[in-house]
Amino acid sequence: MPRRSGTTTRLSTAARRTEAAEDDVDPAYHRAILKIALELKKPDAPGYEAIVASTIRSMRLDAGAFRRYLGENGARNMSLLLATAKGMGT
The pLDDT score that the predictor gives to residue 81 is 67
Helix intervals (H) in 1-90 = 13-23, 27-41, 48-59, 63-69, 75-87
The pLDDT score that the predictor gives to residue 34 is 87
Q: Quote the Cα angle for 54-55-59, to 5°.
A: 120
Domain residue extents for the chain: 27-87
- Model pLDDT for residues 54-80, shown as the tens digit of each residue: 999 999 999 999 988 888 765 666 666
- Model pLDDT for residues 19-47, shown as the tens digit of each residue: 445 567 889 998 998 898 889 889 999 98
Check pLDDT > 60 for residue 11.
no
